[in-house]
Amino acid sequence: MHDPLLRRRALPRLGVGLMAAPASAAPGTEGFAPDLEEKLAAGLRSGLLPGLHALLVARHGQVVLAHYGQGPDESWGRPLGEVRSGPEVPHDLRSVTKSVVGLLYGIALARGAVPPPEAPLLAQFPEYPDLAADPARQALRVSDALDMTMGLAWDESRPYTDPANSEIAMENAADRYRYVLEQPVEHPRGTRWTYSGGAVALLGALIARGTGQSLPDFAQAALFEPLGFESGGWAAGRDGVPSAASGLRLTAPALLRIGEMVLAGGAWEGRRVVPEAWLAAMTRPAVPTGDGLHYSRLWYLGGGYVPGLGGPRPWLGAFGNGGQRLYLMPAAGLAMACFCGLYNRPEQAATPLRIWREIVLANLVRG
């Protein structure tokens, strides 16, 4: 499930006390200005970081900032009441799930279980010969689902409580895959980015069909187990199909570990997990999103100014409704996993973005 990124709005500064100051790193926060924890605490006291449930920041594999809070939470729209977060407490990833599925597709591709990005998309769904016969759809490629450039009508700008939201309509459809593929053609394929949980549903189907495993089972065997953890659950629709777009739940340390594996070039403890070639394609900007970012293989690509490093550095990220985030800055060996409970709220992006920009990047120093 998508969330507004608020990049076009100027976010209020957290205050002078949270900005970087020239200094050597304190013990336990190597590579950062001192009092990093106090800067986060000041942001929480100020009320400018609402809804924060969990935060982990690591640099070069060393956790330099950790916070677990408490607040109302939910699981795929089902209220859970007041939840005290902790390192063993699973949390909804929402659309961060999409980026995990992007990694899973790369793993399945290396195993020969799924079609390559250049393969015709409709040919992978032979049960819809009428759609495959449509000349306007014959040009669709698997890469268009991976980069969300299918050109089919899709609207997730509506609240996820609205049945007219395309993802919710897909969940309510008798056949989710037909629903996605039969949407009107609005643009030529590959020319425009349109956020689409439906595109990811198609990819989830290709993974499950090609591997002979359910999406959660393949994820556990191919990604989570090599990284040393188990999922905290995977929500499914009324048809029993696990949601590839938004259904995964993980703990904060598990999400951080995925990020650290990506930073390590796709390997973990000497074992290849995600192919290097897939990560190279994933970090090569494919299509602009229209708001200053790019998108590739279900990951966002952007850049952030880092005073301590003397200028901007590229990052890649996974974003989810409610303020769920995984930010990675390879040039700095930096990973940030963030969970929030701001589901469907217009200001949901503010908390993780402020932490990333004004606490993490602003206080990073050389080293």
The per-residue pLDDT for range 109-147, each reduced to its tens digit, is 999 999 999 999 999 999 999 999 999 999 999 999 999
Q: pLDDT-based confidence at 10, cuts 50/70/90?
A: very low
Provide the pLDDT for residue 315.
97
CB 147 within 8 A of CB 131: no
The per-residue pLDDT for range 151-180, each reduced to its tens digit, is 999 999 988 888 999 999 999 999 999 999
Q: pLDDT-based confidence at 20, cuts 50/70/90?
A: very low
The per-residue pLDDT for range 62-114, each reduced to its tens digit, is 999 999 999 999 999 999 999 999 999 999 999 999 999 999 999 999 999 99
What span, in angstroms and rounded, lies between the C-alpha atoms of 326 and 319? Answer: 7
Compute the average pLDDT of residues 245-271.
Answer: 98
What count of Cα atoms within 13 Å lies in the side-chain half-sphere of residue 319? 24
The per-residue pLDDT for range 306-355, each reduced to its tens digit, is 999 999 999 999 999 999 999 999 999 999 999 999 999 999 999 999 99
Res. 224: pLDDT tops 70: yes
Provide the pLDDT for residue 29.
64
CB 205 within 8 A of CB 211: no
Q: Please name which of 263, 242, 234, 235 lies closest in space to residue 326, comparing C-alpha atoms.
A: 263
Provide the pLDDT for residue 5.
37
Provide the pLDDT for residue 303.
94
Res. 61: pLDDT tops 60: yes
Q: Which one is predicted more confidently, 28 or 130?
A: 130
- The DSSP element (H or E) to which 180 belongs, if any, is helix 176-181
- The DSSP element (H or E) to which 296 belongs, if any, is strand 294-296
Quote the mean pLDDT of the chain: 91
Kindly report the backbone phi and psi dihedral angles of residue 339, in degrees, each rounded to the nearest multiple of 5, phi listed first. -120, 135
Res. 248: pLDDT tops 50: yes
**Domains of the chain, earliest start first:** 16-90+252-363 (3.40.710), 114-210 (1.20.58.710)
CB 12 within 8 A of CB 336: no
Res. 18: pLDDT tops 70: no
Compute the average pLDDT of residues 42-46.
Answer: 97
Identity of the residue numbered 31: G
Q: pLDDT-based confidence at 285, cuts 50/70/90?
A: confident
Provide the pLDDT for residue 161.
85
What span, in angstroms and rounded, lies between the C-alpha atoms of 95 and 147? Answer: 14
